[in-house]
Amino acid sequence: MTLTSAEADKILSANFAPWVLDLGLTVETVGEDRAVLRLPWSERLAREGGGLSGQALMAAADTATVIAVSAARGGFVPMTTVQQSTSFQRAVAGADVLIEAVLTKLGRRMAFADVTLSDAGSGALAARASTVYAILG
C-alpha cells in the first residue's frame, strides 16, 4: 500500500526533530519504492559563496530515505541510519533541491537506497547518496 503525499507529509511532521523540520522539506511524490522531497532554497542554509550547505543536503537525503521506506511499508515504523555516503558534484545556489530516494532492497530488518539530489531549476545533479537503514519495528 503506497502512501499519499499528504500522508507522507504527516509522517515527516510527526517523526522528525525540530531542526530537520526547520529545513522546510515537503513531500512531492511517493511510490511503492521511492519518495521525492523538495528542499526549498533558503539563505539560512547557504554557505560562504551562496551554495547550499552539505549538512542540509545530507539531512535531506537521510529524511527522503525514511519517507521512501515508510511508503514501501505502508506507514512509518521506527528505523535508524546505519550508513550514509554522499558525493557532492556541484553547488546549488538560489534554487530548490529535489531529493529522490529509490529503494534498492527492502528486507524485514534492513533497507538500502540510492538518493539523487538535483537542482530543481536546471535539473543538474548536485549530489548522490547511498543509505542503509536498520528497521527497528
Residue 97 dihedral angles phi and psi, to the nearest 5°: -120, 135
CA distance 90 to 105: 28
Q: pLDDT digit string (tens) for 10-56?
A: 999 999 999 999 999 999 999 999 999 999 999 999 998 889 999 99
Angle at the Cα of 97 from the Cα atoms of 20 and 68, rounded to 5 degrees = 60
Q: pLDDT digit string (tens) for 66-109?
A: 999 999 999 999 999 999 999 999 999 999 999 999 999 999 99
